[in-house]
Structure 1
Amino acid sequence: MNEVISSTIQSPGEGLREVWGWFDVSQDDRARVADLSPLIEQNIDGILQDYYSRDGGYDHPSDENTSGSMQEVRAQQRRHLLELFDAGLDQKYFESREAAGIFNESYGISPSFYMGLYTYAINRVCELVQDSCEDAAEAQTVQRSLRKTAACHQALTMEAFSAARTEAIEQRERQLSELPTPVLRLQEGLLLVPVVGTLDSHRSRLLTIQILDAIRDQSARAVVLDITGVAAVDSMVANHLIQTMTATRLMGAYSVLTGISSEVAQALVKIGVTGEALNPAGDLERGVATARKLLEA
């Protein structure tokens, strides 16, 4: 049960049955929603047109490429809305929710925009149900079934969206962690190593090797390690930085660390790292000036 709660979207069998239950969606609810398919197919284009043409509802792009992208977005949103009225509980339905979430993430569609469109569309369909039903009680029953099913439909799509965004972020971090770190020669005896992206343990070890090899090959006597482009440093990475700077000194070169953000500084303090261990010098300009003074000493 805990696995289902934490990740429904990864369990399309029992997981989907569980999530239908969470939203109190019964077989009868799904049947009522499926019966609305002809009604939504007749009116969906008008609903979407009204949503996109409202005053303040959407800023129309003037760029031709952007316009083409929005046409694709609108076509996909139309399909996603129609899928709601299938009210299925099978692998195909699961895959459609996953595809919708991935599409939204890849096109940069915000959750607020997605929820706004669906809320507007469901409200409009409820109005159509009210107008088409002669019996008020029956209309309320159908509307209640639609709202419950729509809430479940949206939740599954948002879960897939969240998973797709997490995967995209992790992929970008992996790509950044694999970027080569340049070792720049500022002047004779002085090296600059700017680090950008994620600094994990693996990359930290490679960084140490690069710096030590550069000190040996270029007979460097000072190294400025700039981590301005590093967003976070954990305890393991901090230890690697300390080891790198210690190894640098053992190679006969001074080491200066620059670009420590306030967030990274606070994190380092919490894990007991001292300024003496890292020899910090604030920003890059001061770090280079410090290194040059050390060379002159």
Structure 2
Amino acid sequence: MDPTSLADAGAFLKTFAVTDEDFRRVREMGETVLPHLDEAMDRFYDWLLAQPDYAGLFARSAALVHAREAQTVYWKNFFSGVVDAGYLAERAAAGATHARIGLPLSTYFAGVSYIFHVFCGYLKTGSREAVSQMILSCGKLLHMDTALVVETYGHLLNEREMEQSRALMEMSTPVSMIWQDILLLPIVGIIDSQRSQSIMEGVLNKIATTRARVFIMDISGVAVVDSAVANHLIKITKATRLMGCESLVSGLSPAIAQTVVHLGIDTEQISTFSTLRDALEEAFRSCGLAIRQLG
């Protein structure tokens, strides 16, 4: 569930069973806690600055002042007992902030636990049952806030990992023009369906922009060649052929050749060569080129 996309905050409150009675108790606790908020913030930031994860975060005093102001606003909104779409968006933004600065969630949980313990220390009046009910109601709302922060935190980290994965994929599949009309792609590592798709897209785009006539794919660095890998290679060669570009596969070691034969894979659709040199010679012939020794 994406909290920032909820048109009705009531749906999210219902998920966490936060009721009007809970809000009444939250406001009641706020009446006791908020007069001591500055003192509570002093205690919280004394604790926070002693934590290793925050050692370099507040090197500038301006950053500390900004964080404290934001934290103060947070708790004033919390104890107001009013939750709407804006409230949910603010909590999601808190999760995004923690993700961007790279703070671990364990530190966030520890901080929430510490400050809530400080707040509970101000509840010195009223019956034990009333105090217990206030703490339980605030705990429900706090759990909802924490869930919003964690969900947003995880979502942003997943997006970051996907971006890094895409970047690494692009870096690991560099298609280069090594000669006029001849493209080369050395592949190292494992070929799976995702990487195969990335290779195909990169190769076809390169063929379209360079109008290359021959594409050499060197697989001498591929860790494993099985039926799935062979099928990926066949798909890539078929796609390049549709673009009017001949595809050559080099780097077939004896072990890979035996594996391909053992699996009964049809390689008639692939032009294969044991070495990159052999593939280059074939590429030159296809382009009407020849290498001659001078002198």
Question: Which bin holds the TM-score, normalised by the shorter protein?
Answer: 0.5 to 0.7
Distance 2:104 2:145 in 1: 17
Per-residue Cα deviation, 1:225-250 (whole angstroms, up to 9, x for no partner): 6998xxxxxx8x98664333356688
1:151 is displaced (CA, Å) by 1.0
1:209-240: CA deviation from partner (whole Å, max 9, x where unpaired): 525876846x77x4436998xxxxxx8x9866
Aligned equivalent of 2:130, options 138, 141, 144: 138
Asked if 1 retains the 8 angstrom alpha-carbon contact of 2:170 and 2:198, the reply is no
> Are 1:33 and 2:22 counterparts?
no
Distance 1:170 1:139, change over 3 A: same
Aligned residues: 256
Residues 68-77 or 111-120, more deviating: 68-77
Which of the residues 47, 50, 54 maps onto 1:51? 47
Cα distance in 2 for residues equivalent to 1:49 and 1:273: 68
Letter in 1 for 2:137: S
Q: Could you tell me how far 1:155 is from its partner in structure 2? A: 1.5
> Would the aligned equivalents of 1:97 and 1:153 in 2 still touch at CA under 8 Å?
yes
What residue identity is the alignment partner of 1:48? F
Residue in structure 1 matched with residue 5 of structure 2 by the alignment: 10
What amino acid is aligned across from residue 291 of structure 1 in structure 2?
A: L
- The answer to whether residue 76 in structure 2 is matched with residue 86 in structure 1 is no
Query: Are the aligned partners of 1:183 and 1:214 in contact in 2 as well (CA < 8 Å)?
Result: no
Q: Which moved more, 1:99-108 or 1:141-150?
A: 99-108
Query: Which string of whole-angstrom CA distances, capped at 9 and with x for unpartnered residues, describes residues 18-42 of structure 1?
Result: 3323433222221222241524523
- Please report how far the alpha carbon of residue 204 of structure 1 lies from its aligned counterpart in structure 2 after TM superposition: 2.4
Match of 2:276 in 1: 291
- Go from structure 1 to structure 2 and tell me whether the alpha carbon gap of 1:103 and 1:117 turns closer, same or farther (over 3 Å shift): same
Query: Residue in 1 aligned with 2:289?
Result: none
Q: Which SS does the other structure have where 1:34 is aligned?
A: helix
Q: In the aligned structure 2, how far is the partner of 1:53 from the partner of 1:69?
A: 12
Q: 1:226 to 1:188 in 2, by over 3 A?
A: farther
Which amino acid in the other structure matches residue 132 of structure 2? Q
Shift of 1:118: 0.9
Q: Any stretches of 5+ residues in structure 2 without a counterpart? A: 223-227, 253-262, 283-295
TM-score, normalization by structure 2: 0.62
Counterpart Cα distance in 1 of 2:278 and 2:135: 76
Which of 146, 153, 166 aligns to 1:154? It is: 146
The amino acid across from 2:108 in the alignment is Y
What CA distance in whole angstroms lies between the structure 1 residues aligned with 2:103 and 2:268? 45
154, 157, 176: which one aligns with 1:183: 176
Deviations 1:176-200 (A, max 9, x none): 788895415299978345699x758
Distance 1:278 1:114, change over 3 A: farther
What letter matches 2:129 in structure 1?
A
SS of 2:111 mapped into structure 1 = helix
**1:117 and 2:111 are equivalent in the alignment:** yes
Structure with bigger gyration radius: 2
TM-score by length of 1: 0.62
Displacement of 1:97: 1.7
Q: Judging changes above 3 Å, is the alpha-carbon distance between structure 1 residues 182 and 127 closer, same or farther for their aligned structure 2 residues?
A: same
What secondary structure does 1:128 align onto? Answer: coil
Q: CA deviation at 1:291?
A: 1.3
Which segment drifts farther, 109-118 or 79-88?
79-88
Deviations 1:236-272 (A, max 9, x none): x9866433335668855532479xxxxxxxxxxxxx9
Which digits, 9 at most, give the CA deviation of each residue in 1:123-176, with x for residues without a partner?
A: 2211222xx324322222222222122112211222333344445555666777
Map 1:129-278 to 2 at 5 A: 129=123, 132-169=124-161, 181-185=174-178, 191-192=184-185, 199=195, 201=197, 204-211=200-207, 216=212, 222-224=216-218, 241-246=233-238, 251=245, 254-256=248-250
C-alpha distance in 2, partners of 1:63/1:226? 50
Using the alignment, how far apart are the partners of 2:20 and 2:221 within structure 1?
Answer: 57
Give yes or no for contact 1:212–1:251 (8 Å, CA) kept in 2: no
How many angstroms apart in 2 are the aligned matches of 1:214 and 1:124? Answer: 66
